[in-house]
Each structure stands twice: as C-alpha cells, then as structure tokens.
Structure 1
Amino acid sequence: MLNKKFWYLLVVLTLFAFLLVACNSDEGGDDPDDEDEQEQQDDNNEDENNEEEEEEEGPVSGGELVGAMDTAPDGIFNPIFYSEAYEANILDFTHESLAGQNDNLEFIPQLAEDWEANDDQTELTMYLREGVTWHDGEEFNAEDVIYTYTAIASPGYTEAGGIRTTFVQPLVGYEEFSSGEADTFEGVEMVDEYTVKFHFAEPNVNPVYYASYPIIPEHVFGDIPIEEQPSHPATLDAGEVIGTGPFKFTEMVEREEYVLTRHDDYWQGTPYLESIKWDIVDQSVITSLLESGDIDFVADPNGVPAADYEMVDGYENVEMIEQTDFGYQLMGFKMNYRTAEDAEAGTINPDNWVENPDVADQKVRQAIAYAINRQGMVEGLLRGRGSVINAPIAQQFWAYTDEVPQYEYSTEEAEALLDEAGYVDVNDDGFRENPDGEEWVLDLEYPTGNKIREDSAPVIKDDLEKVGIKVELRNPREMSAYSNDIIFNDSEEALDGLDLYLIGWSLGSGDPDPTGLWNIEAQYNISRWNNPESDELINKALQTPDAFDQEFRTQTYQEWQELFATDLPAVILYAQNKIYAYNERLNGVDPLPMGFINDPHLWWVEDAQ
C-alpha cells in the first residue's frame, strides 16, 4: 500500500514538473531543452520556406542551348525555296504559318487568330493577328501573306528551284498566272490589312492545310525577281534572314555552327532562352557529347542512333523520348530521267522523259523488294526500334493501310520473278544478264550523314547479289550535293545512269495527300514515276463533294497505296523510331508527332545566368 502511494506521488510530481517546464517554455524561459526545441522549430520553418520556394520556382530567362546536327544545312534559309530537313532545323525557329497543329494533328491558330470557310469550302477567310512584328521590326500584315502565295505561284518559281506549288495549285487562276497569261494571281485576296481570303477553283476538302504555309516578308522580297531569290542574301546569310518566329538567325560559321538569338518582341512573349546554337558534328560522337554536356539536345532528322539507345538511356543527365517517325526511308528506282534541257530549265515534262531500261520491268522491281531483308534491317541496324512498312503514307494518319503487297523477305520469290522476266545468268559468273543477254549492273547511290542509311547500302548490295543482281555502290556524297543532283539535275548524263537511290522523307503533317512526293509532275517524284492511274486516284481523293466524306478518302487512298505497292516506284525500307535526347537542364520540351521543335519560346534552362 505504501509503495503504491509512493509511486502515485512520484508520478504526480513528475507531471507537475513537466507542466511547469512547458509553461516556462511558453513564456520564453532559458532552459537548455528549450534551445533545442527552438532550433528544431527554426529548422521546420526553414524547410517550409524551402518547399514554398521550390513550389514558386518556374521558368527563368537567359541561357544558351546547343543542339547537334550530323549534316550541315544546304544553306537555303527561305521557306519557299528550302528543300531539306537540316535547313528546316533553322526555319522551324525563325518562320511561322497562319495555322499550326496540335498533338492530334488538328489545325490551331498561329499567325491567323481565326478563320472561316464558306458552305462549299471554295473560300477560306483568314483573320490575321495584329501586333506581330518581323525580326527587323516591321509589322506583319496581309500583304506578306498575299506576297508569299503569289511568289510560289509566279512564273519562274519552279525554274528557280521552287518545289512548293502544291500549296497554290488548287487556287483560282494558278495556271493562268504561273504560265504568264495573267498579270495577277486571283487565288489570294487582301480584304483588308489583317484579313486574307483564299479562293479555291473547286470545293476543297482541307482548305486550312493549303493556307498554312510559312510566310515570308513582302518588304524584304517584294522587289527581288523570283529567279534571284535563291541566291539573295535574304535567303542565304545569317542576319539577313527575316521571319516572325521566336528566334532570329543571327550568326553562322558555314558547315560548322548556326546561331539563333531570341526575338525580344515575339508576339507570344519574349522567349526564355537567350540563344540556341546548332553544332555540326559527326554522328559517331554525338552521344559522347550528350554525356559530357557539350551539347544539350539531338533531334530531327536523325536523332539518337538506335544502336546507342541503351547507352544514352543510362546517362544520368539525359532525358529521352521515343516516338514513331512521321516518315520513312526508301530505296527508289530511277524509272525515268529528264532530258538535260528540261533539267537545266527546271521543266518537268513527262512527255520528254527517257525510260531507264534497267529497272523498267515491274517484275524486276518486285523481285528486288522480295530480295531485301527489310525486317533484318529493323532488327539489326535499328535494334528493333522501327518497323517495316509498305505504303508511303505516315502511319499516324487515318489514311494509312498495310493491306497491300508485303514483299516479305524471300530469295525464292525474287529468283522466280527474275527468271520470269528473262533476267538469267547466261555465262555462269553468278550474276544475271538482261533479257538481251547483256551485262546487267545496277548503280546504287546514297548520301552521307545518316549512319543507319549509310549502313543500309552494303546490306542491300549483299541481299541483291544473293539472287544474282550485280550492284555497284557509288561513293557516298554529302547530302546537299547528292540531293541537288537526284532532285534537280536528274538527266541520264548528269546522273551517269543511276538506277537506285536511298533517301528519307519527313512527311507533311497537314494532310495525307501524297501529291507533293508522288504526283507525276512533283519535283520530289525523284523516281519520275509516270503512272496516270496514280494521279487519277490522288486527284479523286481530293474531289468534292465525295472527298468531304473521310471514309471515301480513306478507301481511295487505300486503293492508291495498293497501286503504289504493286507498281513499286520505290521500296519503303523502314520507318525508324525517332529517338530524341536532351539534357535534363532543359525544360519545356513537348514534341509533336511530327517533330521535336514545338513552342521553343517556352524552353528554359535551370542554370540560366
């Protein structure tokens, strides 16, 4: 009993002492335990303040980014004349269109803040933004839009190397104006300073697409004859190229580096980054430069090589994005050549084309398709990061179908077709002769820059020689010289009898219409494929009112893709997954399905000075 009372009293006294200390603490007593508690409270307050600061942290202004390209731009920095993806890496920062696109490939306002079409979609009215300035401080307005489309439609444009006539051909008066029969182009009309109306010759299924080409400044180019524009400083020289985009093209050391500086008066707000620099480096060292931080990002057109994916994915300072390519790599058949006179004049006249007998037989082209182990390329060269496709429409489009001839790898099928076409080995040297018993050698050419494409060439040679087709690989050339010849200087003499070529296409995202690449008179129809049924189907898919029904267009494009895969002006080799990589210091990256560069004015770096 005594012990119980003792312990009860002890507990009470202890509790009283605790309450006394607590009261003294509330009153600011100087008990040593009070100092520890105060330090703890201060630490808690500091942690809370740090958390609030972290929550408040956001984009900061300043800093430079360094991107890497494995091939130098050809040097044409004018949207209506450029021809390759490396130049687009500059122009995507400097120039803009009336309408852009979102993740779902829907058109969204850009330099035009709104638009409306009439009931039958023969007219499209675009309402332009006010307050947009060009890089030189001049104001953007309707005159710039009128000028851009008039320039593309003008006589002499294609002769000067222009290849964007797809965007003006559907407009009223194009034929008359481009041929010189009319003095004015009726297809675009200036309603007022900030309103433009596009007039289409026929009801148009996708008018915004045709009204969404990048705009160039009238006050810069208006007095320059169209034939002089490709060689003018406003097209070629850093500091002279003028756009409305978030960055200005300000400096370059040709074939080494290209510098973009922010446009402080950009209409969507001053970009966070001070500058973006493109370095031209060999593809073999890009990954090591990413790891060291000497470059900040690698994106289009080639991205990170598939063979380096695992290595780069292990870099602690690098983020990666992988998505399906909005395009494909192909091996084309040079089915026809232009005459030297037509090539020199920039004329595309199928009536004058000279057939290439070495690849003229459809069975031969099909045999070659069977002979190439494309799945082997995907698994070996791409490390599985890609896919074999058989139709030349982007897989992301509703119009794409793979229900076409597949040409799965089969030496037996290839040999049977070659035998049927009369290509047999008559002298027992291991290689087939043509039906006349003459030596049959196919010349294959390809550009430098894309390592996987370079590695594809000898694989193709080996595959074709397994079925008795002798192939000569030409020495690869830099892309600018290569593309100039096969696209613009494609006479038999200039190409020295070229039969096969390798190239990759980054496709337009506005519409699946293949006119720009495969229409008979398209400049980019490098094969010079002359199949009237192809053009009939391409045109049919755009003919309203039927074409207002997407199911109709889908069916028509499926028929066209089957025709393409049967007649085979080119073998679609593979669609390589795009693998983008960027340093974790970079924020605001939000790629679109068709490319890495999207809203670069919102990009920012954490270590900006």
Structure 2
Amino acid sequence: MKKKLLILLSAVMAFSLILSACGGGDAAKPADPGTKVETPAEGEKPAEGDSGLNTEGLNKATDPSKAPATAAARKDTVILGVPAPSGVFHPAYEESSYDVWVNDLLFTTLLEIQKDGSYAPHLGDYKVSDDNKTITFTLKDAKFSDGKPVTADDVVFTLTLLYDKSYDGPSDAFAYAPVVGAKDYKEGKAQSISGLKVVDPKTVEITLEKPSVLSLDVFGATGILPKHVYESAYKPGDLSKMKDTFLNPVGSGPYTLEKFVPKQEVVFKANPNYFLGAPKVPNLIYKATTEETNLQLVQTGETDGDTFISATLDNVEAIREFGFADLMLNPTNGYGFIGLNHKDEKFSDKRVRQALVYGLNRQDVVDGVYQGLADVINIPQSKVSWAYTDEVNKYEYDLEKAKALLDEAGWKVGADGIREKDGKKFTITFTASTPNTVNEVLIPIAKENYAQLGIDFVPDQMDFNALLDKVEKGNFEMVFLASALTPNPQISQGTFRTGGNQNKYFFSNPRVDELYKLANEEFDLEKRKAYYKEIYQITNEEVAQIFLYQRRDTLTTNSRIQGFDTSPYKDFTADAAAIQIQ
C-alpha cells in the first residue's frame, strides 16, 4: 500500500534492515484487504488446505446479518482500528505509517499512487520537459478546509520548507530532487529557490539541476500546506515553531481533525470543501488498537474494521468465522531474502551462487513459515507493480542441478562428504537473529538441503542488534533479512548499485549501475519498465541475493462498510472519501 514516499525515500533506505527484527521475519505491519472464491482464478491462490480462501484479493463476508448490533447502530460514523499515531500531523515531518494515515485524510498531494504503484494526477496535472529537467504542475480548483483556495504559492511554500537548512524531517529532497537554487537557499545566499517558480496562481514550474525520476516522489507525494496558516511558523533557517503546528493541522484533504486523544483515538469530520466532493461518511474515527485487542474489537463491533491484523492462518480463519467481515489479503510492501557477502571468495563464482538457490527448497521454507500466505519470489519486486517481470529463472528446487554447478565450479566432494576446493572445505557460516520465526524454519531445511550438496551449513545465532552490527561491518557470510518495497522501483538502487547506501552485500555489476542511472533520468513509464526488467533479470541471473518470499497483509472491514479498494501500494486512506455505510 502507499506509504508516503516522502518518508520511504529516506526512511526505507535507512531502516530496511530493521524489518527482519520482527517475529515474522520482516515488517511487523500487516494491513490490507481480499475475495472468497470456490475455484481461484488466474493469479489467485488458495491457502494451504483451504480452497475457499483467496489469498490475493477480497474474501467477502458470508453472512452480513451476523454484524454486531453495536456496529450496526452507527449510521453516520465509521470506526477503524489502527496502531496509535504519535501526533505528528504535518506532511513534512510524519515518521510512522500511522501518522501518515492521519495526514492522508487531512492533506492533499499533487499526485496519487495507483494500485500498481504508478502515479496519476490528483490535486494537479503535470508535464515534463523534453530534457526531463523541468516539471510543470497545473493545479485543479481546490480549497483548504478553511475555504481559502489552494494556489501555486502554497505549493512553493510547502516545497521550500523541505530545502531549509534547519529542516530535520525524514525527506531528503536534496538527494532525490536537486532543484536549481536549492543549495544557495540552504546556505543563505538566496532568499528563495530560483528553481521553484510561480507562473500564475494555478501553475508551478520546477527546474532540476539534473533529471531525477525520484523528484516526482518528493513533489507529488508531499501534502500541500496552506501558506496563510503555516507561514507564521516558518522562519528561514529556523523551523522550530513548525513543530508547534503538529496538533492543529489545516489542509485540503477529505477530512478535518476534530479531536486527538493520544493512545486512544483520532476523530475526523468530513470536509465540505474537499475538491472531489464531501466524503459520504460524515464522521470517521481511528481507534488505537494492538495485536492483543484488534480482532476482538472487530468481533464485538467496537470497530468497523482494522488495518493491522497479522496475516496468520489462525487470524484469517477467525475473521472468516465472524461471517460479517470482508477480508482483503494483499502482498506486503516487503520481501524476505538471504544476503550473500559477495566479497567472500567462495561466493565469487556465479555458478556457486546459483547452486545455493537451486539447492534450497525455498517453497518448503515459505510454506513452513506462512502456511500458504506467502509466495516464493525470484526478483526484488512485488508482482502487482507496474515494473514487475516474470521473465526470469524460477530456480525450482533441483539438487542434481545444484550438484552439477558446484562440480563445474571446481568444488569436489571430499572423503568426509564435504566439498572442497584448493584445500578449503565448503563451509557456510549463517548469521541468524533469534528469536525469529523464519530462521526457526529456514535453518533446519537449509542445513539438510546443503548437507546433501556437500556443504557444511553452520548457524551462528545472536540477537538482532548483534546481527545488524555484523552486517554493517561486512563481517558475515550469509544472513537472512527482509527489506521494504516502495511504489518507485528506483529506490532499490540503494541495495543493488555499486556502493549503494544499503548495499551491505557488496554486489556490483556495471550494467546494473548503468541501468539505474538511465532509469532515474527517464520519466517515460514504458522506457523505465524496460530498464527495470533488465535489472531484475541480471540480479536474478547473478544471484545478487537469494530471494525468498513476499508475505501477505490484511485489511478487515465489517461488510456494512463498502468502497475500499486497496493494493500493496494504495492505502485504505485513498478511499476514505468514497466509502459508504450500507
């Protein structure tokens, strides 16, 4: 689902490793929706042992009449369970998904994420110049919740804030959107940013120093602030007062903030001035829930749904037993993988790396952990993405092929059954965090599979912080981790480009480096798709990582609430103005 690229552009790259600290082996966040079918259609998969469950789409309520009376009595209010927001209700400073979900309702962005991760015009249309250095946004007729019009001045004001020398929010606009004049402004050599130009009240022209497709994520995914409200808190070089505005947000989104009670609830009222029309549900409430309470509150009717119920078979079965609940299951915004240290001499031969993939029964690992609620993957991309390709090696489990590759690479089975080359035994030290449910399944399977290949697989288990320290220092051979995915596939350059800030595995391929550069300078979607396709084919062929799985997230809603249409990239908040109570 969409997670405000303003955050993800920096936070994902800085913290993607941390995802594997969670008990399920990757991001602890499950939140999305699903379709109940007797015979799954193409692309739909039944869970293990349950042909009635659609694991990729909507599973509709079987008996809406079972809806609890408490929920049915609410005629003009929808209550959704979410993990507690922290109260950073400002689009330039939001750090967590939970604050993002609040800001999504209060503020409007120039562009919006589609279900496949591509962009579409929202508050503004845009065009890109032939040299890909100038982006022109044309605003639609819109008003802020106080009735004042949204203008080009508001857009420039909002974006200028991101380049201020005292800005300490999560966006790294300088890195991803190098605007002409931004450096001079930051250094106090100019009073404004020359590359941010107000052409007329409805038109903004932005000029970049060099083409960067990531700039759309900064410009298009940042909620627009009303200058007349926030300018009193804006002093160039000193944004300290901006944080005083967090609990008094004013925007142009579908709702306004009525009340915020920390760790309890956020109460919204429909914004009659919303440019797409007032929401159909007058009152919307986010109720703070936890893993211990979220399922029960849906069952009793205290909430109309929840965004964060873990996608386990037990939870899925419980939700379906309610009868009245719609359950959406979507691939999560992340994937699990085994990282190889490409500086390690034994991994230097591509045939060895490929043998390690062929020789590991990844399907057994994935099924053992997620019981049908995850897929084995072969590239670092979600299959719902516009950039996805299936034209890669699937590496089906094949011990004989793995053995042949190792033989070709010069690793011969010794008298003790362990392969050796140049007098060195083939031993892999597997750095593993504990407790970790993925490692609990992965280690015994890998140990057995690799023993059949003549490889001594030795787990070295430790707490996650110790593991992270080893990875940061490059002091590892093989490790299981998980990483986030974002709508913009360009973000993965940090992991797979030579010297990338998240390339902890020392993978390096000149063609991949060149392709990422070409892709970042190109705004045409089809041309970019071709670049990413080749990137994925190379990373698959070269085994940049051993790609393992993409699991599921859930969105659970009382069937009396209709209108949510989410995906891994498109959050439930995108439909807030359209949902209806039946």
Measure, in 1, the Cα distance between the counterparts of 2:427 and 2:143. 63
Range with bigger deviation, 89-98 or 416-425: 416-425
1:65 matched to 2:67:
no
Change (3 A) 1:520 1:427: same
The alpha-carbon deviation at position 383 of structure 1 amounts to 3.6
Counterpart of 2:482 (choices 481, 503, 509) is 503
Change (3 A) 1:332 1:262: farther
Counterpart of 1:403 (choices 388, 391, 398) is 391
Measure, in 2, the Cα distance between the counterparts of 1:433 and 1:138. 74
1:376 matched to 2:364:
yes
Change (3 A) 1:559 1:103: closer
Measure, in 2, the Cα distance between the counterparts of 1:104 and 1:118. 25
Contact 1:273–1:603 (Cα < 8 Å) also in 2: no
Contact 2:164–2:186 (Cα < 8 Å) also in 1: yes
Range with bigger deviation, 436-445 or 175-184: 175-184
Counterpart of 2:304 (choices 284, 292, 296) is 296
5 Å-filtered alignment, 1:85-234, equals 85-102=97-114, 107-112=119-124, 114-118=125-129, 122-133=133-144, 140-153=150-163, 162-163=171-172, 167-169=176-178, 171-172=179-180, 185-201=193-209, 211-215=219-223, 217=225, 219=230, 222-223=234-235, 225=237, 233=243
1:594 matched to 2:569:
yes
The alpha-carbon deviation at position 583 of structure 1 amounts to 0.9
Measure, in 2, the Cα distance between the counterparts of 1:81 and 1:428. 59
Give the structure 1 partner of residue 323 of structure 2.
316
Tell me the secondary structure at the aligned position of residue 403 of structure 1: coil
Measure, in 1, the Cα distance between the counterparts of 2:346 and 2:173. 31
1:394 matched to 2:382:
yes
Measure, in 2, the Cα distance between the counterparts of 1:404 and 1:205. 25
1:329 matched to 2:374:
no
The alpha-carbon deviation at position 515 of structure 1 amounts to 4.1
Contact 1:68–1:295 (Cα < 8 Å) also in 2: no
Counterpart code for 1:245: G
Range with bigger deviation, 578-587 or 261-270: 261-270
The alpha-carbon deviation at position 560 of structure 1 amounts to 0.9
Give the structure 1 partner of residue 540 of structure 2.
565
The alpha-carbon deviation at position 586 of structure 1 amounts to 2.0
Counterpart code for 1:142: A
Counterpart of 1:541 (choices 510, 519, 534) is 519
Unmatched runs of 5 consecutive residues or more in structure 1: 1-59, 337-354, 449-453
Change (3 A) 1:549 1:107: closer
Bigger Rg, which one: 1
Change (3 A) 1:149 1:511: farther
Measure, in 2, the Cα distance between the counterparts of 1:80 and 1:585. 35
Change (3 A) 1:333 1:174: farther
Tell me the secondary structure at the aligned position of residue 465 of structure 1: helix
Give the structure 1 partner of residue 266 of structure 2.
259
Counterpart code for 1:465: K
Contact 2:496–2:508 (Cα < 8 Å) also in 1: no
Q: What is the number of residues matched between the two proteins?
A: 496
The alpha-carbon deviation at position 476 of structure 1 amounts to 5.6
Measure, in 1, the Cα distance between the counterparts of 2:420 and 2:185. 51
**Per residue, is there more strand in 1 or in 2?**
2
The alpha-carbon deviation at position 98 of structure 1 amounts to 0.4
Give the structure 2 partner of residue 277 of structure 1.
286
Change (3 A) 1:327 1:207: same
Change (3 A) 1:166 1:138: farther
Unmatched runs of 5 consecutive residues or more in structure 2: 1-73, 451-455
Counterpart code for 2:306: V
Measure, in 2, the Cα distance between the counterparts of 1:518 and 1:227. 35
Measure, in 2, the Cα distance between the counterparts of 1:526 and 1:134. 46
Give the structure 2 partner of residue 40 of structure 1.
none
Q: Deviations over 1:268-308 (max 9, x none)?
A: 4444242322434127x6444433334322336x7543554
TM-score, normalisation: structure 1: 0.64
5 Å-filtered alignment, 1:426-505, equals 441-445=429-433, 454-466=436-448, 467=450, 468-475=456-463, 492=472, 500-505=479-484
Measure, in 1, the Cα distance between the counterparts of 2:420 and 2:265. 49
Change (3 A) 1:164 1:200: closer
Q: Percent identity over the alignment?
A: 21
Measure, in 2, the Cα distance between the counterparts of 1:306 and 1:581. 14
Give the structure 2 partner of residue 8 of structure 1.
none
Counterpart code for 1:330: G
Counterpart code for 2:531: T
Give the structure 1 partner of residue 10 of structure 2.
none
Contact 1:334–1:501 (Cα < 8 Å) also in 2: no
Measure, in 2, the Cα distance between the counterparts of 1:605 and 1:73. 25
Measure, in 2, the Cα distance between the counterparts of 1:143 and 1:422. 66
Change (3 A) 1:492 1:560: closer
The alpha-carbon deviation at position 188 of structure 1 amounts to 2.6
TM-score, normalisation: structure 2: 0.67
Contact 1:298–1:582 (Cα < 8 Å) also in 2: yes
The alpha-carbon deviation at position 553 of structure 1 amounts to 3.8
Measure, in 1, the Cα distance between the counterparts of 2:368 and 2:157. 49
Counterpart code for 1:583: N
Change (3 A) 1:102 1:563: closer
Measure, in 2, the Cα distance between the counterparts of 1:257 and 1:548. 45
Contact 1:334–1:500 (Cα < 8 Å) also in 2: yes
Q: Deviations over 1:149-182 (max 9, x none)?
A: 444456687x87545656414x546677789998
Q: Deviations over 1:390-424 (max 9, x none)?
A: 11233234432222233323455566767888999
Contact 1:445–1:473 (Cα < 8 Å) also in 2: yes
Measure, in 1, the Cα distance between the counterparts of 2:92 and 2:475. 30
Change (3 A) 1:62 1:527: farther
Contact 2:339–2:481 (Cα < 8 Å) also in 1: no
Measure, in 1, the Cα distance between the counterparts of 2:576 and 2:508. 41
Contact 1:61–1:604 (Cα < 8 Å) also in 2: no
Tell me the secondary structure at the aligned position of residue 189 of structure 1: strand
Measure, in 2, the Cα distance between the counterparts of 1:437 and 1:225. 59
The alpha-carbon deviation at position 86 of structure 1 amounts to 4.7
1:305 matched to 2:281:
no
Give the structure 1 partner of residue 549 of structure 2.
574
